[in-house]
Amino acid sequence: MPLSEVRTPAAPARGRTPARSPLATLLGVLAAVVALAAPLLGAAAPASAAPRTITLAPGPHVRVEFRDAVEALRPGDTLQLAPGTYEIGYLWLKVARGLASAPIVVKAQDWRRPPLLRGGLNLTDADHWTLHRLRVEATAPNGPALHMTGGTGWRVTSSEFFGARNTDAYANVAIDGGGGYPRGFVFSQNCVHDAGRSERWKTDHNIYVKFRGAPGSGGTISKNTIYNHQNGAGIKLGDGGLPGAPGPWGVKVEQNTIAQGGRQVLLSHDVRGNVVVGNLLYGSTEPFTTADRRTTGIYALMVSGTGNKVADNYVARASMALRDPYGKVGVSGVTAVRPDPGFRGTGSCAALDPTYWKARYYGRTSTGVYRS
């Protein structure tokens, strides 16, 4: 089922702008005239403001304060969130675009006590933004914890995303876009867990990547821990719906630990140039059909695109490592079913730490050297 069919909450209505005094109106008109005339008069452009560091703490009006603070950020600015719970609701944020040389950062003030944002974040064209050390819980009906649409060079790191189990969302994290975007994104070292358990047919994923690929689009999903997606996939690359539906190009799924779900990685329909390498994939439960009860760690579902590759993945507790009935995925290295990794536990991201020495060469504990 396409993510576009998710009924995400409508954008919140803004209050009316207060009436301006005649003097304020006159000053505004004069300022506009001067701004328009400046290029003609050869005036120098105003100097860029110095980067700011802003700190926000929870409070009775935190939803409005958080939204306004994020939307006021400019290239080079940093918003620090003090420890505590922020009841932000589901926010469709209109954000400025950062620069590669001056990214916009939203992060925890105290990395040991990351803030909890309850609601959901929806960011569009968030060029060179960084979200770091946050916890986001989806609470709005049908709304994911994080929805990133388009953008260039954005980064989401060392954060936690969950809550879809209680919202009926199609994913905890959605990565969307079109027209060749997103580009150069990084989603790394995060914890994503407990996808939905709706009555829909196998459509509740932890991470759903469904942007329409084009030359130059793509990014990296690496070193994450992802678990509990019994009615879907840990990471799905591709759109649902009709055969041949456009899907992402140029995504590298590398060194993730993905456990306890229908399939751990799913490639679907017209996906191209994606790479699945060095992942530790555990505990697949979804059978191919009611008659064929076999399971797989990686599933290429009606893939029609070219250039997709799978290499050096450690698969445990599945019937096979890769199911590719159309032969559309290139395979190199060793992707195989192997011994149980001996996780310390399966109830948290920290617990999904393998004790079997060979398994430690894969997933989030990997150093990039794969031992078969």
Distance CA 230, CA 232 (A): 6
| pLDDT of 36 higher than 80 | no
DSSP string, 226-259: EEEEEEEEEEEES--SSTT-EEEESEEEES-EEE
Per-residue model confidence as pLDDT tens digits over 337-351: 999 999 999 889 999
Could you tell me the sign of the dihedral formed by the alpha carbons of 358, 363, 364, 368, in that order?
A: positive
Q: Which range in 26-30, 32-36, 327-331 is most confidently predicted, on average pLDDT?
A: 327-331
Q: Which two tokens stand for residue 41?
A: 């008069």
Distance CA 168, CA 143 (A): 8
Distance CA 144, CA 159 (A): 15
* Its pTM surpasses 0.85: yes
Closest CA to 174 of 198, 199, 196, 200: 196
Q: What is the mean pLDDT of residues 231-246?
A: 88
Confidence at residue 331, expressed as pLDDT on a 0 to 100 scale: 96
Per-residue model confidence as pLDDT tens digits over 151-194: 999 999 999 999 999 998 999 999 999 999 999 999 999 999 99
Distance CA 140, CA 83 (A): 22
- The dihedrals phi and psi of 3, each to the nearest 5 degrees, come to -60, -25
Distance CA 297, CA 284 (A): 6
CA 96 to chain centre: 19
CA 182 to chain centre: 11
Per-residue model confidence as pLDDT tens digits over 286-303: 999 999 999 999 999 999
| Radius of gyration of the CA atoms of the chain, in A | 22
DSSP string, 267-314: EESEEES-EEES-EEEEE---SSSS----EEEEEES---S-EEEES-E
Distance CA 278, CA 330 (A): 15
Confidence at residue 202, expressed as pLDDT on a 0 to 100 scale: 79
CA 242 to chain centre: 24
Confidence at residue 48, expressed as pLDDT on a 0 to 100 scale: 53
Q: Which two tokens stand for residue 289?
A: 């059909």
CA 279 to chain centre: 17
| pLDDT of 32 higher than 60 | no
Confidence at residue 95, expressed as pLDDT on a 0 to 100 scale: 98
Confidence at residue 9, expressed as pLDDT on a 0 to 100 scale: 53
Distance CA 267, CA 247 (A): 9
Q: What is the mean pLDDT of residues 327-333?
A: 95
Residue type, 269: H
Per-residue model confidence as pLDDT tens digits over 198-211: 878 778 999 999 99
